[in-house]
Amino acid sequence: MLDLKKIRHIVMDMDGTIYRGKELFPTTLPFLDLLRQKQIGFSFLTNNSSRSVDVYLHHLREFGIFINREQMITSTINTADYLKTRHPDIKRLFMLGTESFRREMTGYGFTDAALNEEPQAVVTAFDTDLRYERLCKAAWWIKQNKLWIATHPDLECPTGEPTTLVDCGSITACLEKVSGRRAIVLGKPDPSMLDAIMRRYDLKPNELLMCGDRMYTDIQLAVNAGTPGVLITPLPAGQIENNIADLTVPDLGVLGDMLTNIA
């Protein structure tokens, strides 16, 4: 059972939880101010690997949110950590990802294989600049049994625009269909993303609260890591099928009111 009195750190998803596209939710800044007042730590966590940490920090500053680099966790960081820990000899990657993603992975010590170079592994990310020839080459290397990692499972990225943003999970599904193989999928709901935060801040699972708007990534992450999870949705809890969240609220403002009223 969720005990808000024990919470020492709150982890928040970004798009769909603190903002939607270019629109910051009105409850976000007051909620962050409340956490600072109550001396509750916080971090932001996103599966969106199309942007680097530096780009995210700049994006947050434009909203008036100023944080340290260690407070920003992405599926790109998770992917680099996985490779360094589990496959330290692998350095040359065939990457399906944005220039920002490939540049950040290069900064972590990996090289980006060209179309005519044999990679040690294939990594698929949220590639908003996806090129057909690179998609085909990725499929070829996957069919040659190269190690294959997907940064996260999201099928689409939230947007306020009248379009569907095809995300990493959908690109991965295409490659799985053509290759007959399954990728190693990282990012939320992989519990290692929250495990790293708990180690960094010396937290017990019941002292960390995960907040997000997606059941199959954000809340499943909380379940997998053994931490409480708060689902952010305008839908009443009773109308949500298979709701595994410990708490369901329409926005962070309601959660803030609950934290304020703790005796």
Specify whether 101 is located in the same domain as 113: yes
Residue 262 confidence (pLDDT) = 82
Specify whether 138 is located in the same domain as 200: no
Q: How many structural domains does the chain have?
A: 2
227 within 8 A of 210, measured Cβ to Cβ: yes
Asked if the structure places residue 64 within a domain, the reply is no
Rounded CA gap, 53 and 176, in Å? Answer: 28
Question: Tell me: the pLDDT tens digits for 79-130?
Answer: 999 999 999 999 999 999 999 999 999 999 999 999 999 999 999 999 999 9
Residue 90 confidence (pLDDT) = 98
Classify strands 121-124 and 92-96 as parallel, antiparallel or unpaired: parallel
Rounded CA gap, 223 and 201, in Å? Answer: 19
Rounded CA gap, 97 and 179, in Å? Answer: 19
pTM of the model: 0.88
> Which of 162, 185, 208 corresponds to the end of one domain?
185
207 within 8 A of 99, measured Cβ to Cβ: no
Rounded CA gap, 67 and 61, in Å? Answer: 8
Specify whether 151 is located in the same domain as 201: no
Find where tokens 């490779």 sit: 83
> Which of 185, 207, 240 corresponds to the end of one domain?
185
Rounded CA gap, 136 and 236, in Å? Answer: 44
Structural domain including 254 reads: 4-47+188-260
Residue 13 confidence (pLDDT) = 95
70 has a pLDDT exceeding 80:
yes
Specify whether 232 is located in the same domain as 172: no
Specify whether 201 is located in the same domain as 173: no
Opening angle at CA 175, ends 169 and 178, nearest 5: 140
Q: Average of pLDDT values for 166-192?
A: 96
Which CATH number does the domain housing residue 15 bear?
A: 3.40.50.1000
Asked if the structure places residue 158 within a domain, the reply is yes
Residue 263 confidence (pLDDT) = 59
Using CB atoms within 10 Å of the CB of residue 109, give its burial: 0 to 12 exposed, 13 to 18 middle, 19+ buried: exposed
1 has a pLDDT exceeding 70:
no
Specify whether 200 is located in the same domain as 117: no
Helices (H), 63-167: 75-86, 99-107, 132-143
Residue 236 confidence (pLDDT) = 79
Asked if the structure places residue 200 within a domain, the reply is yes
Residue 50 confidence (pLDDT) = 93
Residue 160 confidence (pLDDT) = 76
Specify whether 194 is located in the same domain as 180: no
44 has a pLDDT exceeding 90:
yes
Instruction: Output helix, strand, coil percentages for the chain, rounded to the nearest 5.
Output: 40, 20, 40
Residue 3 makes CB contacts below 8 A (sequence gap 6+) with 206
Specify whether 192 is located in the same domain as 237: yes
47 has a pLDDT exceeding 70:
yes
Helix (H, G, I), strand (E, B) or coil at 212: strand
Angle between the 75-86 and 99-107 helix axes, to the nearest 10 degrees? Answer: 40
Q: Average of pLDDT values for 7-25?
A: 93
Specify whether 135 is located in the same domain as 214: no
pLDDT-based confidence at residue 201 (cuts at 50, 70, 90): very high
Specify whether 179 is located in the same domain as 192: no
Specify whether 85 is located in the same domain as 132: yes
